[in-house]
Structure 1
Amino acid sequence: METAAKPLKVTFNAPANHWTDALPIGNGRLGAMVWGGVASETLQLNDDTLWTGTPGNYTNPNAPEALLEVRKLVDNGKYAEATEAAIKLTGNLAEVYQLLGDIKLEFDASHLTYAEETYHRELDLDTATVQIKYSVGDVEFTREHFASNPDQVIVTKISGSKPGCLSFSVSLDSKLDHHSYINDKNQVIMEGSCPGERLPPARDANGNSKGIKFSAVLDLQISDGRGVIHVLDDKKLRVEGSDWAILLLVTSSSFDGPFMKPLDSKRNPMAESIRALKRIRDLSYSDLYSHHLDDYQNLYHRLSLQLAKRSISLEKHASAATDLYLEGCKDYTVSTAERVKSFQTDEDPSLVELLFQYGRYLLISCSRPGTQVANLQGLWNNELHPKWDGAPHLNINLEMNYWPSLPCNLSECQEPLFDFISSLSINGRKTAEVNYEASGWVVHHKSDIWAKTSADQGNVDWALWPMGGAWLCTHLWDHYTYTLDKDFLKVKAYPLLEGCACFLLDWLIEGRGGYLETNPSTSPEHDFVAPDGKSASVSYSSTMDMAIIKEVFSAVVSASEVLGRKEDYLVERVHKALLRLYPTKIARDGSIMEWVCTRF
């Protein structure tokens, strides 16, 4: 059935007042939050390789002794005491993701008196483009922003409806240690570095220059034959009397993988940025936009969703179905914020479609082949000491970090996750051997760009969770079952699954009734009331542990059948262990019990 396409746009009728109101764009590596200010505009920038710190040591030689202590307390039913003792198994804080800086645009004072009723700000999910429109007098001003993956650039076009009406200044700034200047090619240059160690909020990052270095180049082009460009204070460019202007932003950093110290990196961020800009500077705006659109829509257009307010037979009642479908098409002059508010009383199905496709847009924008894995905010961050949902900092959170990948249509967007798992397995082997005297590899609840694998510093209820690597491995098998890519299974997935299974086999211990158990065991960010009435978070064989282990073991068995490795000794061990895993417990009300040691 053919139906009219509904516009899938996130819209606002005013500039953003808060960072969370700004509109995100990204090409996987480079991102921006567009605020849409009128007299002054900010594009807050991120490069996914800008983090604090350097490669670390993720082992604790005192952990085996502490592990025996915790296990003994759990065996004796002293769960609160075990929780307290388990602090000895936690480690150092993960490093934190940084912001790159800001593009600052300052327009004429006349823009302060813009006609508010003409203001419109939108993110078009179909084109991955942010557009801002407003009028000052009889002149309509338009800004368009997009982040191109094929050309690795953030592009901004600013124009007015009358010749010579465009005047503004532009600069780059950053909260990181940096310096900026203007070269002789109408370009703003910014160079800086991230802190070489994670700093508490009260300390200044300036001077702590052992971390990742970065550069950004902002190229300015204006209409031919109309308008002039001036240099202000060697830090700003001033445009006067132009028809239009195009800004091209490229960035680079010295990050050269999770195992290379920034000081040892041979990469030259400034030279790389200049080369990147040189490759694209002669391309027209339409060429850049066309490259961006073809690349983005190749992913985005793989799936569509149409919802109606009630179910009817689409085959027998096509006309009625179309009417019901279009019933969800609201007046799109109404902002998305107002649509969210009205959803409580009018369940608009087109808003559900918008939310669904917005999630796909965000994943495409923050996770592409060759980029870093998406963190808890995807790609976007505006703080030196960022937070996420009350957590101590923004991080790669392995309990729930990877954004829903919709492998049925965005399988390429999973590649950064698989690359990251490979890095984790290298550090994780050392952590497994030293901390737990186990083979294979292990990862805990949090990580960072340096592939941290040890338990983080913090409350035991979330920091002590050696199931992080196993949980990530479930994505490997999911990817294969959709793509049926046997080379991926053989070369990438199965070796990682093997290493993970080796650790799990060693981590499991003989327990009650002959079952194989995990001890210590947690269910991240949860605690329970123990039989003695005390609050605790450490026990044995949480349902979450056992479910993840069962899923990984089942994937190993299934993968071995595909690869003709059913007779491998490891597979035999996994088969036997599967039959002895601690079973899921069901409460009297029929619910699944997460904790095996609690009163009901």
Structure 2
Amino acid sequence: MEDSNEEWVMVKPISDKDLWNPSSFSNEPDKKALKVRFNGAAKHWTDALPIGNGRLGAMVWGGISSETINLNDDTLWTGVPGNYTNPDAPEALSEVRKLVDDGKYAEATTEAVKLSGKPSDVYQLLGDINLEFDHDLAAYDDKTYERELDLDSATVEVKYSVGEIEFTREHFASYPDQVIVAKISGSKSGSLSFTASLSSKLQYNSYVNDQKQIIIEGPCPGQRKPPTLNAENDDKPKGIQFSAILDLQISDGTGTISVLEEKKLKVEGCDWAVLLLVASSSFKGPFINPSDSKIDPTSECLNTLKSLRNFSYSELYARHVDDYQKLFHRVSLELSKSSVSVTGDEPSLTVTTAERVKSFKTDEDPSLIELLFQYGRYLLISCSRPGTQPANLQGIWNDKVEPPWDGAPHLNINLQMNYWPSLSCNLHECQEPLFDYISSLSVNGAKTAKVNYEASGWVTHQVSDIWAKTSPDRGEAVWALWPMGGAWLCTHLWEHYTYTMNKDFLAKKAYPLLEGCTSFLLDWLIEGRGGYLETNPSTSPEHMFVAPDGKPASVSYSTTMDISIIKEVFTAIVSAAEVLGKTTSDLIQRVLKAQPRLPPTKIARDGSILEWV
């Protein structure tokens, strides 16, 4: 500013009522459709279409004679709360540091395995809705098939014709009512008949109650090992218990519902059917053993269904769309006035998304970029809402009892990446589960810091789980030894404040977590070469280097990754202290003294940043 005596003016945060209402979401008839389209049923899980309300997720395959809807509940994990400390770690840490100081990086890498811990627990699936339709497949016309995800309404629709009858299915996951809803209808009265059941790859029991509702109940494994399915002689797992209930409603006066095999429902001759799927678990939080939980998942499900009794399908849908669009309609992206590509062609409404992706290398359709951008926002809204678990490695969707990399939140970039769009894409509420999770990590992380590293504050490493695991992962140091996971997560706290200017959030949530993280970082830094403070041992997540003696190694000191994160956290807490009037605290004074002693970023001859020095 030219006038040095002029004061900065703090701009108050924008309220919801002042939020911009993008014109792209008006009711204009020529608006671009934000739809992911297929012209056939899914052949693989990754081809199914996802819906979710933050806590419950589903994947819609869109089969003709049989339909599978994969179900997820974000609280279903293996295991129980654990001990995330290692009393032998300080001795191993001392030896690793000595080897690094002696320039024996390969040997330090081998020795650092002694600092590794146990693996995380594993994200589980809930089960499947199975629908078997009484269609005459000989009369099915595959040219009539449509399956699409409408991003504007968060609804999946499947359409096809069998003879002269058009069948339609609509699916959505409601956040306000905590239910997955499907409506199936036929264009001819009495044309809809099917059998419904629930199943799971986990150990389970399924039955139909006196209200003609299908109930499935079971446990997650109490430890990370593949369950023995439906084995009568197995000891009952003491892990998280789950329940799901499928409620069926059909057209008045047309059609019947009967019970088959005590666990299936047979629907015959109706005009339409509405399916309501609710689910619950005994998970009470990361610090409570499932065996001590007082939650009855089946009772919770029945209570949820009771609360839905007075809502029609149209009302449930309207409540879902209203809630969803309050978030989704905050941002629009327009890269062109129309969907015309560089070739001058406008994509047909019948062109599938897969075909559009394939042709993009030649037509560079800008509307496909708009669709991809909004699909990312859709996924975050669908897998992370206030009160849910944070988005894990697969968001919320999973079809395996042993998913890739355990489906666990990885703190060395993946969890952070999940939430990078939350602020710039105006979805700051979707970040709340992340901050609740960081709070849980800080509790366990304080124990890990004290025992493993004889340090104050709190620390967490490369991978975690629903129990807020903070100890190093199992295995090699190249991925397991990385105590910067919590520090990187903490940068989201300050960024959230700078976007929202919510001083209450900064004071009550962000600053205490930044304090604990900073305390650990100050203790983790040690006197190093050239008068600088250094981190030792230090790794760059999942990267190796060739040591001066020609041996491969991953452990050294003061990687650029470490120092960059520490610099960012120190800058954030100093800035936060200035806002909150805490600049004279002992912690901030220590940070101010440490900042100029952090190593500078080193640049290679070719202009690239050096990760190792």
User: TM bucket by the smaller chain?
Assistant: over 0.9
Partner of 1:455: 472
d(CA) in 1 for partners of 2:443 and 2:216?
35
Aligned residue identity for 1:179:
N
| Counterpart mapping for 1:253-272 below 5 A | 253-272=281-300
Instruction: Measure the CA separation in 1 of the matches of 2:340 and 2:251.
Output: 47
In 1: Cα distance, 2:346 partner to 2:168 partner: 26
1:447 is paired with a residue whose SS is: coil
Output the amino acid matched with 1:54: V
Contact 2:340 2:347 (C-alpha < 8 Å) held by counterparts: no
Given that 1:405 and 1:414 are in contact with CA atoms closer than 8 Å, whether structure 2 keeps it comes out as no
1:174 aligns with 2:206: no
1:401 aligns to 2:427 (yes or no) = no
Q: 1:276 maps to what in 2?
A: 304
Q: Deviations over 1:342-381 (max 9, x none)?
A: 1112211111111110000000000000000100110000
User: Structure 1, residues 206-261: CA drift from partner, whole Å, max 9, x if none?
Assistant: 64510000110100000000000111000100000000000000011000000000
Aligned residues of 1:38 and 1:112 also touching (Cα < 8 A): no
Q: Within 2, Cα distance between the matches of 1:2 and 1:434?
A: 56
Cα distance change on mapping 1:100 and 1:534 into 2, 3 Å: same
- One-letter amino acid matched to 1:186: K
The equivalences for 1:351-500 within 5 A come to 351-387=368-404, 391=405, 393-399=406-412, 400-402=414-416, 403=418, 404-408=420-424, 409-500=426-517
Asked if 1:238 is matched to 2:238, the reply is no
In 2, the alpha carbon distance for the partners of 1:203 and 1:66 equals 41
Which residue of 131, 154, 171 maps to 1:105?
131
Per-residue CA distance 1:49-92 (angstroms, 9 max, x = gap): 00000000000000000001111111111111111111000000
Q: Identify the residue that residue 154 of structure 1 maps to in structure 2.
A: 180
**Is the alpha carbon distance of 1:201 and 1:115 closer, same or farther for their aligned partners in structure 2, counting shifts above 3 Å?**
same
- Spell out the pairing of 1:511-550 with structure 2 (5 A cutoff): 511-550=528-567
For residue 570 of structure 1, what is the aligned residue in structure 2? Answer: 587
Aligned partner of 1:263: which letter? S
Q: Offset at 1:405?
A: 3.1
Deviation at 1:202, TM superposition (A): 8.8
Q: Within the alignment, does 1:22 sit opposite 2:48 as a pair? A: yes
Deviations 1:257-289 (A, max 9, x none): 000000000111111110000000231000000
* TM, length-normalised to structure 2: 0.93
SS at match of 1:446: coil
Give, in angstroms, the shift of residue 419 of structure 1.
0.1
2:6 alignment counterpart: none
Residues 202 and 79 of structure 1: CA distance in aligned 2, closer, same or farther (over 3 Å)? farther
Aligned counterpart for 2:248 among listed residues 200, 214, 220: 220
How high is the TM-score relative to the length of structure 1? Answer: 0.95
Deviation at 1:394, TM superposition (A): 1.6
Task: Describe the SS at the equivalent of 2:319.
Answer: helix
Mapped pair 1:73 → 2:99: yes
Match of 1:590 in 2: 607
CA 1:324–1:134 in structure 2 vs 1: closer, same or farther (change >3 Å)?
A: closer
Shift of 1:459: 2.3
Whichever residue aligns with residue 397 of structure 1, its letter is H
Instruction: Tell me, yes or no, if the aligned pair for 2:339 and 2:346 is still in contact at 8 Å.
Output: no
**After the TM superposition, which parts of structure 1 deviate over 3 Å for at least 4 consecutive aligned residues?**
1-4, 200-208, 321-329
How many residues are treated as equivalent by the alignment?
580
Match of 1:51 in 2: 77
Moved more, 452-461 or 103-112: 103-112
The answer as to whether partners of 2:203 and 2:227 remain within 8 angstroms in 1 is no
Paired amino acid for 2:603: I
Q: Which amino acid in structure 2 is aligned with residue 32 of structure 1? A: A
Alpha-carbon spacing, 1:182–1:477, altered in 2? closer, same or farther (3 Å): same
- Kindly indicate whether the alpha-carbon contact (under 8 Å) linking 1:515 and 1:580 is maintained by their aligned counterparts in 2: yes
Q: CA deviation at 1:155?
A: 0.1
RMSD of aligned C-alpha atoms?
A: 1.6
Match of 1:123, SS state, is strand
SS at match of 1:585: coil
